[in-house]
Structure 1
Amino acid sequence: MDSVESIKPLAASLAALVGAVLVMLSGRNPNIRESWSSVASLVMFAIIMSIVPDVAPAPLGKGLTLHYTLFSILPGLSVTFRADAFSMVFAMVASFLWIIAVFYSAGYMRGLHEHAQTRFNACFALALFGAVGVAFSDNLFTLYLYYEIVSVCTYPLVAHHQDEEGYEGAKKYIVYLTTTAKGLILPAMIVIYVLTGTLDFAHNIHTGIFPQGVNDTLVTILYWCCILGFAKNGIMPFHNWLPGAMVAPTPVSALLHAVAVVKVGVFCTTRVMLYVFGTDLMGALNLGVPTAYFVSFTILAASIIALTKDNLKARLAYSTVSQLSYIVLGVALLTVDGIQGGIVHIANHAFSKITLFFCAGAIYVATHKKYISEMGGLGRTMPFTFGAFAIASLSMIGAPPVAGFVTKWKLLVGAMEMPTHSMGILLVLLASTLLNVAYFAPVTYKAFFGKRPEGEVSAGIKEAPLSMVIPILIAAAISVYIGIFPDTIMLFVKAVTG
């Protein structure tokens, strides 16, 4: 694939950084502050979309890779940016969702009269600065730097309420993520550089960067350090930070679970699996099947835990833990359809999960209710919110015609393409789908067909403000659109495996 030099990948992430600075400078004027957030999100999205004609595969685009080196430290060690088909999947989704998240956040934060809204908006922008930097990183060193930026900048968001529960959740969040990164990723990165002389990602998913003759046991250890070290991916046992972070305001939960943090985790994990180790080496060392079964435990266990949660955000949190592992599972299958199913779920999960968290926030703003057991009959007074929740739930389950169906179909086909263990993976996918139905369907059923709790009436309950409902409907509609027209995203996904 031809590579050309362009500053656009760097400029896309800097748009969010500039936006964060402008937000802080205009904090005394809420309208101007939120206008800067909106402008920054639109500028970032525009820059990323301007990359599409260059990176999109022929005949729709030129099929190029954009490359830009900011500075070099040592041979094979630099801060360098790359826009390729894989990075575009994450970058396009994150930048678009930031736009609608800005409008939703304004309605939520003002509706609840939240404090420290300037800090909130600035940290939100900085998190996107880190996330898009991760998407466009050309090597493991740059990826690591931006990964840590996301961790640091989202800490104040988790601790936003500044109470005991908030500080405890934020402490758990930062300890889990920085300990695993510094204890596993950083040493692994040093050893990889010593062994290979570079941290640059390979140019395709097959070859990896390791030379012939490297000790197989050492490579296997490095591989597992990377799988577990990117703890933002939510893989058990390093997942507990994620439910703990649910003390944050709902827009932060949406950011954590759909736009930035967890997607940074699974993007880093799969980027390293495919572009540092490569499918050929993973196959030769038999790393794919053990990884698939390892994350399958997370898929099933997290789904079972989700069934026990009455708090809506907690149930969605454990759903996220489960759903993230679909992405790693797909790549670990080492089949074309499996890898495509894993990568496309980065986008499919993002649109559906942000819809679900947006709905949870709208329910809280309109009714101050957090628990599913209290939501009987609310669907009849909040039909748009719960209708969108139902659509996004179908996507998480994997039902047509919503986006999640494309993921499940690709994973099923990818599992059947495996030379061995296909039946075991198929059973995992079937069981997880039934569990998805078990913890999502009751929420929608109770909302539309359940009775109001004893002594409560629906009078006075109505939809949340339009600034919240419109982003919910947009995200839900896109989930349906990319379920019916999957090539919108699959165009880039297929280029990764092509």
Structure 2
Amino acid sequence: MTTLFSNELLLVLALAVPAAVALLVALVGRRPNLREAVSLAGALLLAVVVFLLLARVLEGARPSLHLVTIAPGLDLALALEPLGMLFACVAATLWIANTVYSIGYMRGNDEPRQTPFYCAFAVAIFSTMGVALSGNLITLFLFYELLSISTFPLVTHKQSAEAMRAGRTYLLTLIGASMILLLPAIVWTAVATGTTAFTPGGILAGHVGPLGMAVLFGMFVFGAAKAAVMPLHRWLPAAMVAPTPVSALLHAVAVVKAGVFTILKVSVYVFGLDTLRETGASAWLVYVAGFTVVAASLVALTADDLKRRLAYSTIGQLSYIVMAAAIATPAAAIGAALHIAAHAVSKITLFFAAGSVYTAEHVTKVSRMNGIGRRMPWTMAAFAIGTVSMIGLPPTAGFLGKWFMLGAAGSAADWFAVGVIVVSTVLNGAYFLPILTAAFLKPAGGPVAEAPLAIVVALTATAAGTVLLFLFPDVPLRLASAMVAP
């Protein structure tokens, strides 16, 4: 196996597989069964490729591949380090679940334009893998922008006036922030250091003063608007007009994770955690991220639309990761990395459940979910597991990241961050638990009527994954720890 699949070939395959799926789906689009078989087979094949890479990274390998030199000092390159490996595992694994779910959802709701949907979805996964495998800031930027562009047709899938308005907000915010802030930050870094390569320990120390470091860090954070740090967050709830599989892609597999991944990766491999702490360049972000966590939780508390409540929950959960990156200690970075994986599998479960309820009952409002747990026990049991994880309680994956982040904040004597985590945990319970109470304890008539089997299988699998990630955290913990190893 080692001789057949070199590290370089596996890196190429990680990009080639979703690209090939997009092409094949376009070619066989008039044959729905074949189109969906191609999508599922491609997702499974990508997972095999990624797990072959995982085995090598865990053994200490750091695969890399130079792609092309555009100009002197302007290279496109792939390089896989532990954080990128973790993100790639999340994307590849959840693409399988999302493909199974999409088959049930798109057919169950008789959605139009299913071939363009599956095609754009594959291109989005291609872009996501490119973000995870990027060896320098230039490569990351190109795939990051392609991810924004490739998900625009998904956000506007319904092609209604509301969808088109949401799409404009989506693209204007993400592309605008990238061009005005992220790209200049990359140029500044390249000019100051002579490189854009991701390097353990960072590359900026001694090249930029403390004030410049704080400004540059802010440009990276707000330039990566996919992380939805307030005030650059409105694109995310607006995009909830899209079909539920797209919401799951945005919130769990690709878009928002690309944002927080970029911030964490830049913190560790461009600035360096030691440099951030010594210069105080990230101290201000603790307060901005903390405000985002609490403010988003308060908005979620008042939202009656289920997907809107989940969207603002995502905004708050993402800023846990951003706040941990700003604390800039190894333990905080480990917690942030773990929460990327935990939030992914938990939030995709919640969105899958929301889509299941819509497909079976055409219910979108929290106020109309009385007794729905009795009619849809599998769906709402999965929703309950996702809820427990979002609150941060064992035995679910959400406990792990919060535990590390809370411990890191306490060790750094950052009592503001400690307070944010405690208060927001209470708020998480306040906006999630009433849904479960209404679903399981309030009466409502009607027989058991679950969504199509593919939907139920997918959400059951991700709910199980939410628990299994808590019980068997060895791989993500090893990757997160290797990310900050000296």
- TM norm. shorter chain > 0.5: yes
The residue aligned with 1:405 is: 399
User: Do 1:338 and 1:414's aligned partners in 2 also have CA atoms closer than 8 Å?
Assistant: yes
Q: State the shift of 1:337 in Å.
A: 1.7
Tell me the equivalent position of 1:441.
433
Matched-pair contact (CA < 8 Å) for 1:482–1:488 = no
Q: Deviations over 1:309-330 (max 9, x none)?
A: 0110000000000001111112
Distance 1:213 1:246 in 2: 42
Residue 295 of structure 1 contacts residue 328 of structure 1 at CA under 8 Å; is this kept in 2? Answer: yes
Match of 1:465 among 452, 457, 479: 452
Query: Residue 152 of structure 1 is aligned with which of 126, 131, 149?
Result: 149
Aligned residue type for 1:451: P
Find out whether 1:308 has 2:302 as its counterpart. Answer: yes
CA distance in 2, matches of 1:240, 1:435: 20
Please name the residue that 1:87 is paired with: 84
Mapped contact 2:264–2:333 kept (Cα < 8 A): no
1:336 is displaced (CA, Å) by 2.2
- Tell me whether 1:492 sits opposite 2:479 in the alignment: yes
Q: 1:363 Cα deviation (Å)? A: 0.3
Q: Does the alignment pair 1:176 with 2:173?
A: yes
- Structure 1 position 378 matched with structure 2 position 372: yes
The Cα shift of 1:77 comes to: 2.1
CA 1:28–1:234 in 2, change beyond 3 Å: closer, same or farther? same
State the distance in 2 between where 1:334 and 1:221 align.
16
8 Å CA contact 1:310–1:371 kept in 2: the answer is yes
Query: How many angstroms apart in 2 are the aligned matches of 1:215 and 1:279?
Result: 16
Equivalent residue in structure 1 for 2:40, among 14, 26, 38: 38
C-alpha contact (below 8 Å) 2:292/2:319 kept by paired residues = yes
Partner of 2:422: 430
**Matched residues in 1 for 2:351 and 2:253: separation?**
11
Match of 1:64 in 2: 61
Offset, 1:483? 1.0
1:266 aligns with 2:268: no
- The DSSP-based 3-state class of the residue aligned with 2:63 is strand
Matched, 1:351 2:330: no
Deviation for aligned residue 1:131: 0.5
SS at the partner of 1:79? strand
Deviation track 1:209-267 (CA, whole Å, cap 9, x = no partner) reads: 12525333333222110000000001000000000000000000000000001001111
Once the two structures are TM-superposed, the CA of residue 288 in structure 1 deviates from its matched residue by: 3.1
Please give the alpha-carbon distance, in whole angstroms, between the structure 1 residues aligned to 2:362 and 2:312. Answer: 22
CA deviation map 1:37-84 (0-9, x unaligned): 11111111111111122110xxxx2x1100001111234321100112
Instruction: Give the CA RMSD over aligned residues.
Output: 1.2
Aligned to 1:133: 130
1:292 matched to 2:280? The reply is no
- Between the aligned partners of 1:351 and 1:213, the Cα distance in structure 2 is 39
Aligned-residue offset at 1:5: 6.0
Letter in 2 for 1:458: G
**Counterpart in the other structure of 1:51:** 53
1:105 partnered with 2:108: no
Equivalent pair of 1:75/1:198 in contact (CA under 8 Å): no
Does the 8 Å contact 1:15/1:40 carry over to 2?
yes
Contact 1:335–1:417 under 8 Å retained in 2: no
Residue 480, structure 1, aligned to residue 467, structure 2: yes
AA in 2 matched with 1:201:
F
Q: Which residue of 2 aligns with 1:17?
A: 19
Q: Decide whether the 8 Å contact of 1:77 with 1:200 is kept in 2.
A: no
Q: Which amino acid aligns with 2:443?
A: K
Q: Report the residue type matching 1:136 in the other structure.
A: L
SS at match of 2:395: coil
2:7, 2:53 within 8 Å by CA — same for their partners in 1?
Answer: no
The residue that corresponds to 2:329 in the other structure is: 335
Residues in 2 aligned to 1:10 and 1:309: alpha-carbon distance in whole angstroms: 44
* Aligned-partner Cα distance in 1 for 2:205–2:484: 22
- Matched residues in 1 for 2:292 and 2:357: separation? 29
CA deviations 1:138-194 (Å, max 9, x no partner) are 100000000001000000001000111110111100000000001111111112111
What is the identity percentage for the equivalent residue pairs of Structure 1 and Structure 2? 43
The alignment partner of 1:402 has SS state of coil
Tell me the TM-score normalised to structure 1 length: 0.94
Contact 2:205 2:271 in 1 (8 A): no
Cα distance in 1 for partners of 2:15, 2:370 equals 43
The separation in 1 between residues aligned to 2:401 and 2:383, in whole angstroms, is: 19
Structure 1 counterpart of 2:30: 28
* Aligned residue number for residue 231 of structure 2: 237
CA offsets per residue over residues 273-313 of structure 1, 9 Å max, x none? 11111112211220232211210010000000000001100
**CA–CA distance in 1 between the matches of 2:416 and 2:209?**
30
- SS of the residue corresponding to residue 7 of structure 1 reads helix
Q: Distance in 2 between matches of 1:407 and 1:85?
A: 17
CA distance in structure 2 between the aligned counterparts of 1:450 and 1:139, rounded to whole angstroms: 54
Contact 2:205/2:275 (8 A) holds in 1: no
Distance 1:198 1:40 in 2: 35
**Using the alignment, how far apart are the partners of 1:306 and 1:435 within structure 2?**
9
Structure 1 gaps of 5+ residues are: none
Mapped partners of 1:158, 1:210: distance in 2: 37
Aligned counterpart for 1:254 among listed residues 236, 248, 259: 248
CA deviation profile, 1:371-410 (whole Å, cap 9, x unmatched)? 0111100101111100010011000000111001111111
Is the 1:44–1:95 Cα contact (8 Å) retained in structure 2?
Answer: yes
Give, in angstroms, the shift of residue 16 of structure 1. Answer: 0.5
CA distance, structure 2, for counterparts of residue 240 and residue 369 of structure 1: 24
AA matched with 2:31: N
Structure 1 counterpart SS, 2:64: strand
Distance (Å, rounded) in 2 between the aligned partners of 1:5 and 1:473: 34
Query: What's the counterpart of residue 362 of structure 1?
Result: 356
Residue 441 of structure 1 deviates from its aligned partner by 0.3
Pick one of 219, 225, 230 that aligns with 2:219: 225
The separation in 1 between residues aligned to 2:372 and 2:194, in whole angstroms, is 60
SS in 1 for 2:272: helix
TM-score, normalising length: structure 2: 0.97
Q: Which residue of 2 aligns with 1:115?
A: 112
2-structure distance, mates of 1:26, 1:170: 27
Amino acid at match of 1:9: L
